Structure 1
Amino acid sequence: MVKAYIHDNDSSVDFREDHDTGKPVSLEKLEQIGLIYRKFDTQEEVDQFAQDRDYKNRDIVNITVNSFPDEETMISKLNVFYAEHLHEDEEIRYCLDGEGFFDVRDPFTEEWIRCRVQKGDLLVLPAGIYHRFTLTSDNYIKALRLFKEEPKWLAYNRPDADDNRYRQEYLTQVGL
C-alpha cells in the first residue's frame, strides 16, 4: 500500500529524505485530487490495467547512481525532476524495484502530498496536476512507464503553466 502524507516543506533537509509530518493522507483524498493507485503483484495484472485504460506504449527506466557518470550529475538530474511541473498527459508509473517519492500539489490546500512508491505500486497522475519526483536516500528505482500514445516529455513548470489548458481542465475535473 502506498504511503501518503503531508510533506514538511523543510528545504534544509535533502529532498530524498522522508519529510514526513506524521499527517497521513488517505487513498480517498488521493482519488479526490485525481490520482489512481493500485497494488499489483504480477505483470499480468499490470498488463490488464494497461489494456483496460488503453495504454499503448511502455518502457522501463532504471535510475540509480550507476546510471550517471557521478553523483553530482545524478543530483543535477534529480533537481530537474524535483522542480514543480505538470504534463499534458497522464504520468503512469509501476514500481518494479526500489522506491521513490512522487509529490503532488493538493489543489485545494496547496500543500504537498508525498507518495512513497515501492515494488508493486502503480500510480497514475492526471494531466495538469502539479507534481515532482525524487528518489529516496537509497538512490534506486526501476519503474515501468506506461503511455496512452507516444511518450511526450514536455514538463511545464509552475507558475508558467498556471494558464495551461490541461491545468485548467484538471482544476475543473476536481471541482475548482
Structure 2
Amino acid sequence: MELQEPGKSLPIKAWYYNPSDAHPSHPHQYSPNREVSTDHLHKLGVLTWTQIETDQFENNKFLNKIKTVRGYNYEEVLTVAPENLQNFEENTRRFFMEHLHDHEEIRFILDGVGYEDVRDFDGKWIRIEIKKGDLIVLPPGMYHRFSLDSNQFLKALLLYQGNPTRIQFERNPETDLMEVRYVTTSSSTEKKSIHPMRPTRTHSLRNH
C-alpha cells in the first residue's frame, strides 16, 4: 500500500541557494533560477507532500494516515513570528545555524511561508520553499537550517515519533562522526534508503 495524496499534487518548490549577502529571508535564487526536482530531494532522503487541506487538520484523513503509518504519535503547533515567539531574533538566528537532529524533522505548514535549506550530495545548499498545505520530512542526521520568508510568519504542526527531545546539534567536527549522521557526500555510493510508508528508527544519543 502506498500513500497517495488526494487530488493532483504539485511538486514542492526547491532550488540551489545563491550565497549572496541578502538577508536569509530573501529567496536567494540564481538568475536564471537553478531548480531542484522533487525526485532529487527524495534521493537525498527528503519526503514531501503538498496541497494537504489545513482546515480542521485534526480530522484530515490523509494527514492522519501519514501519522499512523510513519508512527508520529506526538504533535504540537508552533507559530514563528515576532509577536508569537519569545526571543524571536535570537531563536530565528539559531534556526538558521547549520545543525542536525538525532530524529526526523517533520513540519506540516498550516499558514505562512518559510525555507528549509539542506545539503546536496556535494555539499551545496538546496533551498526548499515550505508553505501552507506542504508537509516535509527531513531524515535524522541531515544537516539543515530554517528561515522565514520576508513576511516573517509561519504556523506549523510539528510531528514526532515519541516524546520530542528538541535538541539541535550545531555543526562541528564531532557531529560529522555521530552515528545518526546522514551520508550526503557526492563520492559515497551508500545512501540511506527511507521508505515513505515506514517509520524511521532514531538513535539515542547523549546531550553534548
The reply to whether TM is greater than 0.5 is: yes
State whether residues 32 and 174 of structure 1, in contact with CA within 8 Å, keep that contact through their aligned partners in structure 2: no
State whether residues 2 and 118 of structure 1, in contact with CA within 8 Å, keep that contact through their aligned partners in structure 2: no
TM-score after normalising by structure 1: 0.90
Q: After TM superposition, give the deviation of residue 166 of structure 1 in Å.
A: 0.3
Identity of aligned residues (%): 32
Q: After TM superposition, give the deviation of residue 117 of structure 1 in Å.
A: 0.5
Q: After TM superposition, give the deviation of residue 41 of structure 1 in Å.
A: 2.2
TM-score after normalising by structure 2: 0.77
More helix by share: 1
Map 1:32-47 onto structure 2 (within 5 A).
32-39=43-50, 40-41=52-53, 43=57, 44=60, 45-47=62-64
Among 164, 178, 189, the residue aligned to 1:164: 178
Which 5+ residue runs of structure 1 have no aligned equivalent? none
Name 1:130's counterpart in structure 2: 143
C-alpha separation between the residues in 1 aligned to 2:192 and 2:175?
A: 17
* Structure number with larger C-alpha Rg: 2
Instruction: Tell me the number of residue pairs that the alignment of Structure 1 and Structure 2 aligns.
Output: 168
Q: After TM superposition, give the deviation of residue 97 of structure 1 in Å.
A: 0.3
Which 5+ residue runs of structure 2 have no aligned equivalent? 1-10, 184-189, 194-208
Name 1:140's counterpart in structure 2: 153
More strand by share: 1
Map 1:1-176 onto structure 2 (within 5 A).
1-10=11-20, 12-21=21-30, 22-39=33-50, 40-41=52-53, 43=57, 44=60, 45-68=62-85, 73-106=87-120, 108-159=121-172, 160-167=174-181, 170-171=182-183, 172-174=190-192
More divergent stretch after superposition (126-135 vs 36-45): 36-45
Provide runs of 4+ in structure 1 moved above 6 Å: none
RMSD (Å) for aligned C-alpha atoms? 1.4
Q: Encode CA deviations 1:117-167: one digit per residue, 9 max, x unaligned.
A: 010000000001000001111000000000011011111111231101100
- Secondary structure of 1:117's match? strand
